[in-house]
Structure 1
């Protein structure tokens, strides 16, 4: 998903931005890129260090820094704390632009490393790991998170494309997954049978 530039303002609304570019960004940016850029801009505009910002929202400076560098996801608990303390609308922006984004900026380096891996170990007590999900199972899971339409199809396509690492002609990746038996039998609609099929196929 691509978001046009908009300021997340203290009035709790999202309004069109002026023509000023974000530092290090040009033209259109993804929703997740915009989000971390704006989080950093708002903090700096208040002349707050990462330590001071973190103290006010009850998160560590290390946590704040990793989010602003795109190394850690900016999740609703963090964004809601920022909104509560500073009167911003980052939570609203997250719901409208980030949910359903097929590869948020904080996931891209992970996908890159995943694509080069020779062995991946996974532990999933609640759902089938994404790398083992069939299209039907992925659709059911993502739909349950409120992702629909074009965003849903994009997310499914990305998830299935990541599984190509098992089909490489040279040195295919191996996966060692620990999955709760209940996850194999727990399904949304027809996804349960697809989960068992996906598990057995690997």
Structure 2
């Protein structure tokens, strides 16, 4: 909402920050859903854009519902600052690579408790900006199970578009996606998804489950996760065969 209002007013982040007497980085965090404006700041935003109480009400609503997502916030902070992310997903497309319609279908149909579907989708899409930022775009190395390519999420068109989007993302020099084929049988990745982020020269991990998520910072436990990651990669196809498999799956969805 803030980015839309600012763009419509033809105002840069620096100009808005100056009007509010805050840092430009704070404005950027508001626009990428990393922080919720405090009441006074939201009131000042409404004054700048002559928007009544829109920002005040939206910020209050976001704070009211933020408890459901509080467990993931520490990870999102690391993710936004990461120079490299290694992600493994055995069941769904990694969040950083999801299209709008795939994310919408997943959040709507998979039992995820979100009070604002549109806001949740927008937040997920905004996370991917780290892959295309001008200043040192984050490197992403993702491994997915072949089941991710075959499991219908949304319509066949949603799946086809999503898989084509993965292929397009791999055209970026900082993005790589490989696939563990179904023929691999049992392998360490069947224990569940994991992610590793390199931030300020150190690695942190994240484990997700149906109830919450856990950020892993203990060096020994992070090292154990890295061993699991490397074991999973051994079962994945090389880059070119992986892309060919993704493209074949995309065509199978029509």
TM-score, normalised to structure 2, is: 0.39
TM-score, normalised to structure 1, is: 0.48
